[in-house]
Amino acid sequence: MAHRTILIVGAGPAGTRAAARLVAAGMRPVVVDEAAGNGGQIYRRQPAGFRRTPADLYGFEAAKAQAVHGAFAALEERIDYRPQTLVWHLWENEAHLLTGERTERLAYDALILATGATDRIMPVPGWTMPGVYSLGGAQIALKAQACAIGSNVVFMGSGPLLTLVAYQYAKAGAKVVAVLDTAPVSAGIRALPGLAARPALLAKGLYYTAALWRMGVKMWRGVTPVAIEGDESVEAVRFSDARGVAHRVVCDAVGIGHGLRSETQLADLARCDFAFDAIARQWLPVTDQDGRASVRGVYLAGDGARILGADAAEIAGQLAACAALRDMGVAVTEGELADLRQALAPMRRFRAGLETAFPWPARLAAALPDEAMVCRCECITAGELRAVARQKGAPEVNRAKAFSRLGMGRCQGRMCGPAGAEVLADALGVPVAEVGRLRGQGPVKPLPMTAQSAP
């Protein structure tokens, strides 16, 4: 077989297992990752010189984290590994890379996108002031720097990450004032059949909740966030509980997030087809059961394709690698494929249960006051988006982007895109699927002005 260049973007659980499967088939893939070491967000490594144990860093998942780290370490001499490297654009089977201040182009024959996910944020008045972090940002501070985001922290939003990060903070000795979950208790009850597909994970979630109660952390379900207050930084959070009773909790930091959104910009630049996922209320790349995208030679694995968690990402990474190998004429047995597909099945049922238990609170977008900031990069308010819809006739988010600059800033719509679409859909009186999705543009992240092409 002639030499083939297989590029894997991302060295988390999905990228690690994809690389391992390709190496086992005699390939030498190129693995590009923005971090300094593999593991992704879930198994993020601590900086050099830090000495916390895996149990301290990863809790119940310590053994899995060590397994992923160890598997990658065993591969490093047999792969072309490029850490701290950004894929900022894709065009005509070429990846545009940035390492430090050096840019280069890498032609590939097959592309496996294992890009992971980021926080999905529903804005609330005051969310842009100092002291407010995403849940993922709060977790990075704890894992990577061994510090808390504040002395008295409130965690607000929904999803399993909300409870997990709150538990990690409380266990580390930080003062967690309250956990405010927008999901109602009734949603969790309805979700039990789906959640029962993975009883061990369900048990862990219940354990984290019970542990927080034992540590004296106040927890509310079915809340409606009202505002984050403060003059120059966070001072308090106001919200209404499930009965409509108003509360004010004093704090100096807030971690917010409503589940995760798949990182799909590179799939968009690779010209993959997308479809609206009604369960997650997100536009996601179209793939077959093994991770093949609509574009020949492009494969997706892990949370960058569907939010299924780290265990599923490892399996999906192997599946995507098997699909790529088959398409290149390398023998892959039906038995291997069948086993991997079967292992993913309960994880997909569990995912449906999670989305039911912790729904994206679209109702909050409709209730945002006009002065609330939606796009913090470009300082676009909910009122400006509503005006774009009602007065300028923007029928979908890309026209709204042209009129208002929504999603044109540093994050390229990662933070504002989901909520902005909900605000626009409510103003137009249409389902959110009808307003479409922000189209990806290169560079997907900012480049330094001093960047130079490699010789």
Is the preceding omega at residue 29 within 30 degrees of 0, hence cis? no
Residue 306 contacts residue 264 (beta carbons within 8 Å): no
The contacts of residue 248 (CB under 8 Å, 6+ apart) are 229, 236, 237, 238
Q: Which tokens is 216 given?
A: 């004296």
| φ and ψ at residue 451, rounded to 5 degrees | -60, 140
DSSP letters, 204-239, are HHHHHHHHHHHTT-EEEES-EEEEEE-SSS--EEEE
Q: Cα–Cα distances in Å, from 68 out to 40, 59, 64, 72, 435?
A: 10, 15, 6, 6, 39
Domains and CATH numbers, the chain: 6-118+261-329 (3.50.50.60), 121-258 (3.50.50.60), 362-435 (1.10.10.1100)
pLDDT of residue 47: 80
| φ and ψ at residue 361, rounded to 5 degrees | -80, 70
| φ and ψ at residue 222, rounded to 5 degrees | 75, 30
Q: Which tokens is 110 given?
A: 């097959």
Between strands 224-229 and 102-107, the pairing is: unpaired
Q: Cα–Cα distances in Å, from 201 out to 74, 171, 205, 219?
A: 29, 19, 6, 20
Residue 258 contacts residue 157 (beta carbons within 8 Å): yes
- 106 in helix, strand or coil? strand
Q: Mind listing the pLDDT tens digit for each residue in 412-431?
A: 888 899 999 999 999 999 99
pLDDT of residue 411: 87
Q: What is the mean pLDDT of residues 380-403?
A: 92
Report the chain's C-alpha Rg in angstroms: 22
pLDDT of residue 59: 84
Residue 57 binned pLDDT confidence (cut-offs 50, 70, 90)? confident
The contacts of residue 389 (CB under 8 Å, 6+ apart) are 400, 424, 427, 428
Residue 49 binned pLDDT confidence (cut-offs 50, 70, 90)? confident
Q: Cα–Cα distances in Å, from 206 out to 57, 130, 135, 191, 433?
A: 20, 32, 19, 14, 33
Residue 144 binned pLDDT confidence (cut-offs 50, 70, 90)? confident
Counting Cα atoms < 13 Å in the Cβ hemisphere of 156 gives: 27
Q: Mind listing the pLDDT tens digit for each residue in 242-278?
A: 999 999 999 999 999 999 999 999 999 999 999 999 9
Q: What is the dihedral of CA 201, 203, 209, 212, to 10 degrees?
A: -100
pLDDT of residue 453: 82
Q: Which tokens is 229 given?
A: 């207050």
Q: Cα–Cα distances in Å, from 336 out to 119, 146, 290, 340, 421?
A: 33, 41, 12, 6, 41
Amino acid at 293: A
Instruction: Give the residue from 423, 437, 444, 310 showing the smallest Cα distance to 374.
Output: 423
Residue 452 binned pLDDT confidence (cut-offs 50, 70, 90)? confident
DSSP letters, 304-365, are GTS---HHHHHHHHHHHHHHHHHHTT----HHHHHHHHHHHHHHHHHHHHHHHHS---HHHH
Residue 455 binned pLDDT confidence (cut-offs 50, 70, 90)? low
Residue 440 binned pLDDT confidence (cut-offs 50, 70, 90)? confident
Q: Which tokens is 197 given?
A: 């597909």
